[in-house]
Chains A and B, each alone.
Chain A
Amino acid sequence: MDAERLVRDAVERATARGADYADARLVRTRTEELTVRNGRLAGALSDEDLGLGVRVLVGGSWGFAARPLGEDPAAAPAEAARLALRAAKAMGRAQRSPVQLAGRADARGEYRTPFELDPFEVSPADRLDLLQAAVAALGGRDEAVVREASCSVRREEQWMATSEGGETFQELVRAGAGVACQAAAHGQVERRSYPASFGGNYLAAGWEHVLGMDLVGEAPRVRDEAIALCSAPPCPPGRRDLILSGNQLMLQIHESVGHPTELDRVHGHEVDLAGSSFATTDKLGAFEYGSRHVDLVADSTVPGGLDTRGFDDDGVPSQRWHVVREGRLEGYLTSREWAGRVGEAASRGSNRAEGWFHPPIVRITNLSLMPGTWTLDDLIADTADGVYCDTVKTWSIDPSRMNFQFTTELGWEIVDGERRRLLRSPTYQGSTPEFWRSCDAVCDERHWRLWGVPNCGKGNPMQVAEMSHGAAPARFRGVEFVGGSW
C-alpha cells in the first residue's frame, strides 16, 4: 500500500470533481491493551485499524466521507471523494453562511514521537508479568475486593495531503499503565488508583514511561489507602482551603479552562451535545479568568504530551501559546475554520479527529498550568484549615462550564499546617472564574508533570481525543465543600 499516493489521489479526485478545498488522511492505528483483575486476565485486546477520511469544501459547505481500506485500498480514494462531494453538494439552501478558512494548509514534513523503548517491542509476556506482579502486590488483605492493573500502548501513523500543497506524515506513539484497588469494608466501597484514574497515566513515550512508574512498589500503599477510606469519615461540608494534587488539577484545567476556550464551543456549535461557554469572545484580553498566579499555556510541542505532534488535522504546524496569562484570558483553541472569528490570520492548530472515521473538530491540546514557586511541604505548612485532594473520582460541570462539582478519591485534612485525618470522597463545588481567582499558590517545577486524559468526548456524533495537562499542586482559598452520605 502506497499511503502517500492514496491520499494524494483522493485530494486530486476531489478537486477535479469540483471541490474548492480538499484534504485526505489515511490513518493506521495499532493498539494493545491488557488488563489483569484479581489475577485473571480481564482484557486482552489487540486492534489494528486502517482507513481513509476525505474532507471537501464545496461552495462553502463541508462534506466528509470515511472508508475502510480492508479489501481494496486502491478503490477507496475515488469512493471517499465521491461520497464527500455528494454530501457537501446536498447541503444546498440549508447552508446560510459559507465556511471560510484562515491561513493555508501547505505544510510539508514528518514528525515522530521520540521514545526509548518501542512499546510494541516489549513482549506481551513482559507486559503481563509486570501487571501480574502489580496485582499480586495489591493482594494480601481480604478487604481488597478488586485488584486491577492495566496497560495500553498505541502507535498511530497518519499520512495527510491537502489541496493547498500540504503533505505530512506522523508517527505518534503513546504508552500508559496503572493500578487500582477497590476495597469493601464497614458497608463502604472505595477505590484508589495510581498514578491516576482512567487506567493510569499516559504519555507520548515508549515503555520506559511505564517502567518508571514503579507500579509494584506503589501497589501496597494504593491497597491500604483504599481499605482505610472505607472507615474514614466523609469530608465535612463548609468552606476551607483546597490543595489540589496534579492528577486532580489536570481535570480542573481540562473541564474549566480547556473546554470553555474551544472556539467552536464559544460560538454555540457544541450546544447540541456538551454545551456552550461562558468565555465569550468579548472577554478576550480583558477577562480576569484567574489570579495572577494562573498562567495556562496550550502547547502541542511539549515533550511527552498526548497531543504533541507535528501538525493538526487541518495540516497546521504545532504551536505554543497562552490561553490565560497572569490570570487574563488571552487566547482560544482554534481551527482554520474558527481562527478568523477572533481576528487571527491563521489557526493555532488544535483541530483534530479521532482516527480516519471522524471529521476533525476543535480540540483541547496539551494545556498546562505553569509552575509556581512553592514546595508542597511549605504549602501544607502554610495552610491552617484545608483539605489536600488527590485523584479524580467523579466530575460534573454545567453546560456553560461555569458551575462544577468534583469529587476526589481521597482527601487529607490539613489543620494548622499539618496533614491529619484521611477523609472520604471530598466533594468541592465552585464557579470557574471565582475558583481560579482564589488560586494563591502553585508548586514549583519539581512537582510539575504531565497528566494524560485518554477519554475526552466531544462532538456529535461523539468522538474521543487524548491530550495532556501539566500541573503541580496548587492552593485555592475558601472553596465550598459539599457534604453527603457517600
Chain B
Amino acid sequence: MPLMERGDAAELARRVLARSAADETEVTVDAEVDDFVRFADVGPTQNGARERVTVAVRVRRREPGGGYREARVQTGALDDAGIDAALARAEAIVEHCPVDPDLPALGGAVEVRDTPPIRPTLDHGFREKAAWVAGAVEACAAAGLAPAGLVQTCGLTRAIANSSGRAVVGSRTRASFALTATGPEGSGFADAIGPDVDALDAEGVVARAVERACAAQGPRPVEPGEYTVVLEPPAVSALLLFSSYCGFGAREFSEQASFLCGRVGERLFPAGLTLLDDAADPRNPGLPFDGEGTPRRTVPLIEAGVLRGPVTDRTWAARTGLECTGHALPQPSEDGPRPQNLVVEAGAESLEDLIGGVERGLLVSQLHYANMIDPKDLALTGTTRHGTFWIEGGRLGHPVHELRFTDDLVRILASVTGLGAQRAVAGALFDGDVLTPALRVEGFRFTSAAEAG
C-alpha cells in the first residue's frame, strides 16, 4: 500500500497552515499505512490493509498580558471545507480556555536529519505474509504445538509546520514477526522487530519459538522467593518501558512523582549499565523530531550507572529551567514529555556467559501484564510467561511453572551483574519498543505462583 510521500505531507501541512487566521498555528499531518496478518492454529485469523490520514491543528491565541490560550483539533476531512470546520472548532474552544501564562512561543525553523521510509517494508505483500504464517503454522503442527502470532508492516509519514517558520517531515517504517508456540504444558516465544522487513529472520523466529516451546514442556513447581535471574530482552523491555511511561519525564519529575526526584547525579546502578533515549539508532529508529517538531536529542538516562535525565519538551524545559531535549508528545497534552526510543548499551557476555554466572536461579523469557504499583521506586508487578527455566551451577535446566513478581525497578537495575553482548528490539503488552541485551539480576523478587497461558 502506498505511503504518502514526504513532500505531499509537507505540502498538505502548508496548505492547512495557510487557512488559519490564529495568532499562532501548528499543523501536524500523520499518514499511516498498516498491513497485518494475525494467525493461530487455523491459519490466518485476521488481516488488514489499512490506511489513515489525520490532520491535527494546534491553535493559539496570544494574550495581551502574556501567555496563550490553546487547543488542538484533529480531523480526517482533508478538503478545504473540512479543514475550515476543524479550525472553527479550535477557535471555539480556544475562546474559553484558561490562559497559560508561561507557555513559550512556538519554535522556529530547525534542521532535522533525513529519514526516508524503508521501501521493502512498505512493499511487503499479503502473499509474503501468508507464506510466513504458513511456515509458522506448519512447523508448529509438526511439533505438536499450537501457533499464535502476527506479521505486520507499517509506515508513518509525519509533517509538522507552524506559523513561526518550522517545517519538518520524516517517515518511519516498522516490520515485525512474532510467534508464540504452545504445547500442552508450556509455551515458547520468539520475535523479530526492525525497520526493514528484509532484515527479519522469519525462519529463525519460527525455529526459536518451536525450540523454546518444546523445551518448556513438563515444568516443575518452583517456590516464590528471591532468585538470580537472567532476563531476556522481552522481559527487560516490559520492565524498562515503565521508566518511560512514568519516570524519566520532566512533568512527573517536577510533580515529585518520579523516581528521579532527589537522585539525579547519583550512582545508583552498576557502572556497566548505560541507558539512552536515542531515536537515531538504526536498529530501532524513531522520527527525528518530537510532537512539536523539535529535533530529538540523544539523551543519557543512566550513564555508566549514574542517574541522569529527565527529558523535556519546550513547555517543561521552560518550567523547570532545563534544556529542551525534544521529547514532546503532540501538544497540548495531559502527559508530559517522555523518552520513546530506549536503548540499553550492550555488555560483553553471551547468553551462555550470563547463565554461567548463576549458581541457582531462573531464565525468564518474557514478562506479562507488568503494571506499576507505585512511582517513587517504580514498584512493578507482573508474571513470567512463555518459558521460564531453572538454572543451577551455571547450566540451564528444566522448565518451571510461571511466577508472579513484585519488585522495584530501581532495585532491579541496581542489582544488575551482567549484560549481554547481543541486543534485540523487544516490545511488551503496552506500547513501545526497547533495544536491549539480556540482563543478569541478583535477588529478583517473585511473590506467588502464576498460571501459564
Contact = CB atoms under 8 A, between A and B. Distances in A.
B370 A93 contact: no
Nearest to A97: B42
A46 B71 contact: yes
A95 B126 CA distance: 13
Contacts of B38: 272, 460
Contact of B98 (A39, A62, A398, A461): A39
Interface string B261-279: 0000000000000000000
Interface majority SS (helix, strand, loop, mixed), chain A? mixed
Contacts, number: 298
A102 interface: no
Given A44-B71, A132-B98, A484 B178 contact: no
Given A189-B256, A271-B453, A45 B72 contact: yes
A398 B451 contact: yes
B370 A396 contact: yes
B97 interface: yes
A397 B369 CA distance: 7
B74 A275 contact: no
Contacts of A269: 40, 45, 148
B255 A396 contact: no
Interface in A67-95: 67-71, 83-84, 86-88, 90-95
Given A68-B53, A398-B451, A460 B150 contact: yes
Contact of A48 (B36, B52, B75): B75
A124 B96 contact: yes
A42 B334 contact: yes
A121 to B, nearest CB: 13
Interface string B34-47: 11111111111111
A84 B137 CA distance: 22
Interface string B1-43: 1000000000000000000000000000000001111111111
A66 B51 contact: yes
B165 interface: no
Contacts of A359: 46, 48
Given A44-B93, A272-B178, A403-B404, A461 B76 contact: no
Contact of A62 (B46, B152, B406): B46
A278 B451 contact: yes
Interface string B66-96: 0001111111111100100110011011111
Contacts of B44: 61-62, 91, 94-95
A90 B369 contact: no
A184 interface: yes
Interface string B437-451: 000000000011111
Contacts of A99: 42
Interface majority SS (helix, strand, loop, mixed), chain B? strand
A292 interface: no
A276 B98 contact: no
Contacts of A425: 373-374
Interface string B115-153: 000000000011101110110010001000010111010
B412 interface: no
Interface stretch (B198-206, B350-358, B380-388): B380-388
Interface in B197-239: none
B448 A484 contact: no
B337 to A, nearest CB: 13
B146 A268 contact: yes
Contact of A125 (B76, B95, B180): B95
Given A42-B332, A65-B48, A90 B125 contact: yes
* Residue of B76, B90, B448 with highest tally of chain A CB at under 10 A: B76
B375 interface: yes
A277 B453 contact: yes
B363 interface: no
Nearest to A42: B334
B372 interface: yes
A40 B126 contact: no
A271 B42 CA distance: 13
Contacts of A61: 43-44
Interface residues of B, number: 100
Contacts of B377: 485-486
A51 interface: yes
Interface in A117-149: 123-125, 128, 132, 145-146
* Residue of A93, A94, A274, A276 with highest tally of chain B CB at under 10 A: A94
A272 B182 CA distance: 10
B20 to A, nearest CB: 15
A145 B41 CA distance: 51
Given A271-B453, A405-B404, A64 B48 contact: yes
A427 interface: yes
Contacts of A429: 404, 447-448
B100 A41 contact: yes
A395 B453 contact: no
B40 to A, nearest CB: 5
30 contacts: A40-B98, A41-B97, A41-B100, A42-B334, A44-B97, A48-B85, A49-B75, A64-B49, A66-B51, A66-B52, A67-B51, A68-B52, A71-B78, A87-B37, A88-B47, A96-B41, A182-B257, A189-B256, A269-B148, A271-B187, A276-B182, A357-B52, A359-B46, A399-B383, A402-B451, A405-B447, A429-B404, A461-B150, A485-B377, A486-B379
Given A48-B85, A398-B383, 19 more contacts: A44-B94, A45-B74, A46-B72, A46-B73, A49-B75, A64-B48, A94-B131, A95-B42, A145-B256, A187-B376, A267-B40, A272-B148, A272-B180, A274-B429, A275-B453, A399-B369, A400-B451, A403-B404, A484-B379
